[in-house]
Amino acid sequence: MIIANILLLIQYTLIFASVLILVALGGCFSEHSGVINLGLEGIMVMGAMGGALAMKILPASMPGIFIVLITLIVSLCIGVLYSSLLGVASIQFKADQTIIGTALNMLGTAASTVIVKAINNAESLALNGTVSQSSAVQYNIPKSNFIMNINFKVSSANGDTSFARFELNWFMIITIIILVLAYIVLYKTKFGLRLMACGEHPQAAASVGINVLKMRWAGVLISGALGGLGGICYIMAGVSEWRFENGVVGFGFLALAVMIFGQWKPQRIALAALLFGFLRALGNLYSSFGFLKALNLPSAVYNMLPYVICLVVLALTSKNSKAPKAEGIPYDASTR
C-alpha cells in the first residue's frame, strides 16, 4: 500500500509538473522576446476547451495515436489563435501588456463557458427538448488513449505478491521532448539568440537587421501554442469531465511563478515545476499518507500549500531576479 501511494504521488507530481513546464516555457519564450504574457491562464482555458471539444467530436473507433495527435493539434492551434489577440494589442497597437493579459484571462474563462454551454444546450434541445446549463464537456473518447500503464511487482513482508500500477501519461513524454527542444532553440540556434536579443535590447537587435516585431510575434505565438497544450494537459489530469467556469484554478499564474523562480531558463524551470508539482500533488493525496492525515489539518491547507510557498519563494528571490531588460516595453524603432 505504501509503495502504491508513493507511485501515485510521483504520478500526480509528474503530470502537474508537466502542465507547469509547458505553460512556463510558453511564458519564457514570450518574455524573452520582450512581451509579458499574463494571459496564460486564459490561453490554458481556451486550449483546454479546444482539446475537450475535439475529444467530444472525434469517433471513439479512431486509432488512439490519431486521437492524441488531433487533440494536441487542436489545443495548440486554439492557443495560438487566442494568443494572437495579445500580439495584435501589445505589438501592433503598443497597448499595456499587463492590462491585455488580465483581459485575456477574464475573457478566456467566460468565453469557453458560454461556448460549451451553448453546445450542450443545443444538443439537449435536439435530443429531449430541454434546456441544459452544463458547462462540462462529455467526452466520447476515454482518457486511456493518453495513458500507458506500467505495473510493478511488489512483495510484502509475509511473502504475498501484488502489483502496483503507475500511469505514464503521454503528456509527460511530450513535455520532456519540448523541454529539450526549448533549451536547444533558445541557446543553440540563431532564432533563439535573436529572440533573446529582442527582449534584452531591441534597438541593438534592429541595428543588425533583426526584425523585432516578427520576433516578438514569434515569441507570443509560441507561448500560445505551449499554453494551449498545458491547458489540455491539465484537464486530462483531472476528472472525467471539467466545468469550464472553474477555469484552471490559478495554474497559469503558478506557471508564471515557476518561470520567475526558474530565472527564465528551461532547466531551472523544470526543477521549479517539480517542486510546485509535488506540493500540488500532496494537496490531492495527503489523506493517503498516515503521518499527514494524523495532523488533522483541513484539506484546504494542503491545497493552498503550493500558492503559499510560491509567495514565499518569490518574496525571497525577487531581488536576484534577472528578467529580460526590455520585457513589457513596446518597441519603438525611433528610439535608441
Mean pLDDT of 69-76: 93
Q: Which three cell numbers stand for residue 204?
A: 541593438
Confidence of residue 1 (pLDDT cuts 50, 70, 90): low
Please name each of the domains of the chain with its CATH number.
2-320 (1.10.3470)
Higher local confidence (pLDDT), 245 or 84: 84
The larger pLDDT score, comparing residue 12 to residue 227, is at 227
Q: How many alpha carbons fall within 13 Å on the CB side of residue 185? A: 17
Q: What is the chain's mean pLDDT, rounded?
A: 87
Of 269 and 141, the structure prediction assigns the larger pLDDT to 269
Angle (deg, nearest 10), helices 2-33 and 170-188: 30
Q: What's the rounded mean pLDDT across residues 89-117?
A: 94
Choose among 144, 140, 142: nearest CA to 170: 144
pLDDT at 138: 74
Residue 41: which pLDDT band, with cuts at 50, 70 and 90?
very high
DSSP, collapsed to helix, strand or coil, labels residue 243 as: strand
Q: pLDDT of 148-170, one tens digit each?
A: 778 777 666 566 666 777 888 88
pLDDT(118) > 60: yes
If you write DSSP's letter for every residue of 128-171 in order, what string do you get?
HS------BPPPSS-GGGGEEEEEEEEE-TTS-EEEEEEEEEHH
Q: Is the pLDDT of residue 239 over 60?
A: no
The more confident residue out of 275 and 133 is 275
Q: For residue 238, is pLDDT > 70? A: no
pLDDT in tens, 194-213: 999 999 999 999 999 999 99
* pLDDT of amino acid 288: 67
| Torsion angles phi and psi, residue 129, rounded to 5 | 75, 15
- Average pLDDT of the residues in 101-105: 96
Percentage of the residues of the chain whose pLDDT score is greater than 70: 90
